[in-house]
Amino acid sequence: MNDVCYLELVELTQRMHAGELSPVEVTKAELSRIESLDGELKSFALVTPELALEQAKTAEEEIRRGDIRGPLHGAPIGLKDLCWTDGIPTAGGMTIYADFRPTEDGTVTKKLREAGAICLGKLQNTEGAFADHHPDIPAPVNPWNAAHWSGASSSGSGVATAAGLVFGSIGSDTGGSIRFPSAANGLTGLKPTWGRVSRYGAFELAATLDHLGPMTRSAKDAAAMLAAIAGPDPNDPTAAQMPVPNYLDGIEKGLKGLRIGVDPEFMANGVDDVTSAMLAQVLETIKSISDGVREVKFPDSHQIVTDWIPACAVETAVAHEATYPDRKDEYGPALSGLIDIGRNLSGLDYQKIILRRNDFRGRVAALFQDIDLLIAPVQPFASPTVKMMETLGEDPKLLHGLLSFTSIFDMTGSPTITLPSGFTAEGTPIAFQFVSNHWDEAKLCRAGDAYQQATDWHRKHPAL
């Protein structure tokens, strides 16, 4: 079964639905692989073998009867450990919730169950889905190179999917937390429009910035997972009351007919030589498979990046009001420091942030009147080391740089897709992102698939 572990999710389930592969046998193989490898990788907060095998047996029986629920039916996946699971510990990377057992599934968990996905367990994330792991919880290890960052906050989702321990996973993105670990681990990560996916039953970091989305091996897989989890939800009034497309329909149309924008000045802002060379190659590839790219002027985003920390901090302080500051000594320094910023921000300063955010959101929306897609880096420096990232809290310029291409699209709620697009000299993955207008995830999936038909970066896997 080792030759199966790196299959793309959609290919895996097609073979299951054709009777070529057994959901039970694949699930057993994945559980064995987790047992063998995850002691070092530390991607799982909790493995749920009994639940997984029960779900696999149900899926196998249903598939044999021809009762196929869709493209996720039979696929072993993992959930970021902020997604509630009925009766199963869900800690959100926080020691204060180590014993928390939800009495219901969160909406994303429920929708994945209904789609026939098999839950192998809960995947580790940073404390409260912010910047750092709690000091008492080991950080997941990048399977490409242990000296390099595995991304935050959906670190376990990135590591497990890249290492072939799951066939897809759920991440969340508040400032870049789907995109950073997708880039670090060589994955395709889709951050939907804010409101496309319900946030009910997921630990909150910052309510108006949090996005839940898929982390997978291909754009097709991301399309399949997003279709399963998106849609309105009576438990979440902020979930959009819009029909959900079948994102796999028309995914093969390619880039022809799509208006693709690039701002050379914005794209080069503070990026290192490795990232710059990667982006140049990306542009050449895209030009060869599209109608070309047009230059645009992206709105000045420096202040919005600066505003992200206090904006996130205020919302995080609200989210943790029941336990902070009463249990402050149980918090790690990064999350505690963020909450303190939020609790000390004045109402006047916060209102100014809201006004600037609304202004910037409008300017970005206007840009997408003239283009369908924008090309952007994920981060300005390629594959940072763990040692480098340990200095993040001490270096405001480093933090601002890290957030410069990700946090802005959380502030606007814009959807993006992160795509593997090369390797560093050390053999670690690097990536770029397409950004689109709100609700245009279908175009992102189509663009991602077109790029992946022209390249094979997404088919590279770590040697484990």
Q: Helix 302-319 to helix 396-403 angle, to the nearest 10 degrees?
A: 90
Candidate list 22, 42, 43, 80, residue with the active-site label: 80
Amino acid at 169: S
Candidate list 153, 155, 169, 414, residue with the active-site label: 153
CA distances from 208 to 176, 195, 353, 433 (A): 14, 9, 13, 22
What CA–CA distance (Å, rounded) separates 453 from 130? 34
CA distances from 460 to 96, 143, 146 (A): 38, 12, 17
Helix (H) or strand (E) holding 77: strand 76-80
Has 153 been annotated as catalytic?
A: yes
Supply 170's token pair: 């759920």
Supply 222's token pair: 């991301």
Has 220 been annotated as catalytic?
A: no
Supply 451's token pair: 């790029």
**Is the separation of the CB atoms in 225 and 448 below 8 Å?**
no
Supply 146's token pair: 């242990």
**Phi-psi label, residue 300: left if phi above 0, alpha if psi -120 to 50, beta otherwise:** beta
What CA–CA distance (Å, rounded) separates 219 from 250? 12
Lookup result for tokens 């993040």: 392
**Is the separation of the CB atoms in 418 and 192 below 8 Å?**
no
Q: In this structure, how many other beta carbons lie within 10 angstroms of the beta carbon of residue 270?
A: 14
What CA–CA distance (Å, rounded) separates 41 from 139? 9
Instruction: Indicate the DSSP class of residue 298.
Output: P
Amino acid at 421: S
Q: 3-class DSSP state for residue 351?
A: helix
Candidate list 157, 177, 301, 421, residue with the active-site label: 177
Has 177 been annotated as catalytic?
A: yes
> Residues 6 or more apart from 249 whose CB is under 8 A from it?
none
Supply 86's token pair: 């009925």
What CA–CA distance (Å, rounded) separates 393 from 403? 13
Q: 3-class DSSP state for residue 410?
A: helix
Please give the positions annotated as active site.
80, 153, 177
